[in-house]
Amino acid sequence: GAGVSQSPSNKVTEKGKDVELRCDPISGHTALYWYRQSLGQGLEFLIYFQGNSAPDKSGLPSDRFSAERTGGSVSTLTIQRTQQEDSAVYLCASSLRGLGVDGYTFGSGTRLTVV
Amino acid sequence: KQEVTQIPAALSVPEGENLVLNCSFTDSAIYNLQWFRQDPGKGLTSLLLIQSSQREQTSGRLNASLDKSSGRSTLYIAASQPGDSATYLCAVYPNFGNEKLTFGTGTRLTIIP
């Protein structure tokens, strides 16, 4: 696609429910990233994919968070048993080759509110 | 641990003025640096990417410079317009192959018509 697409744009969920956030990167981009931006906080790295594999999952805050990428394209970030502290904007980005060479293109984000 | 600071945190200027936004990083051994803008409730829009071998990049009214030895980058905006109002973020790539960007704290810019 022309840009990085994320869905849904907004999600309100009850505490304890599971949520899935979707990211559709730019076609042909091999690298895909998830970041989180909490209110008043900076951007926090969550996970990085190169193709379908995730060489760096070190930013996932707990084992309630998981992500996968299929077909070297779409990625899904899953948060199980959501907590109020999970409320944030979840941003996805893609890069043609990764490795810091080409720069990132970000999507518009999914605003998650846990009530 | 790399820390990226942006000063000022907020800036208001009249339309038409030229302005400079600052980005400082504590570890000068960075690979690349990228400037973004973020509009309220939106994602990040890439403005300029400065490769490690470059000292500056230009796009329209924007010019970004990079001085790795002093740990600084500046974003120069010429002839500011109300549409430039946004939060501006710089982000550093620590080294080749390390995919974790470290983002600055951001500067919230308001251009007064």
| Tens digit of each residue's pLDDT (9 = 90 or more) over B7-41 | 999 999 999 999 999 999 998 888 889 999 999 88
What's the number of CA atoms in the CB half-sphere (13 Å) around residue B73?
38
What's the pLDDT score for residue B55?
A: 92
**Max alpha carbon distance in chain B (Å)?**
43
Q: Considering just the CA atoms, what is the radius of gyration of chain A in Å?
A: 13
- pLDDT above 90 covers a percentage of chain A that reads 77
Cβ-based neighbour number of residue A90 at 10 Å = 22
Choosing among B99, B102, B103, B107, which should be mutated to test the A contact, i.e. which has the most A CBs within 10 A? B99
Confidence grade of residue A47 (pLDDT, cut at 50, 70, 90): very high
- Residue pair B30/B24 in contact (Cβ under 8 Å)? The answer is no
pLDDT at A22 over 90: yes
- pLDDT above 90 covers a percentage of chain B that reads 73
Instruction: Give residues with Cβ within 8 angstroms of A8, minimum separation 6.
Output: A21, A22, A110
What's the pLDDT score for residue A40?
A: 73
Greater pLDDT, B52 or B18: B18
What's the pLDDT score for residue A1?
A: 54
- pLDDT above 70 covers a percentage of chain B that reads 97
| Tens digit of each residue's pLDDT (9 = 90 or more) over A92-113 | 999 998 777 788 899 999 999 9
Nearest Cβ partner for A100 among B41, B43, B96: B96
Q: Rounded to 5 degrees, what angle do the CA atoms A103, A107, A110 make?
A: 140
Question: Mean pLDDT score of chain A, rounded to an integer?
Answer: 92
A103 vs B contacts (CB less than 8 Å): 32, 34, 46, 49
Contact B34 A103 (CB under 8 A): yes
Nearest Cβ partner for A103 among B49, B89, B96: B49
Closest residue by Cα to residue B29 from B101, B104, B94, B99? B94
- Residue pair A91/A5 in contact (Cβ under 8 Å)? The answer is no
Whole-angstrom Cα distance, residue B31 to residue A84?
36
Contact A99 B41 (CB under 8 A): no
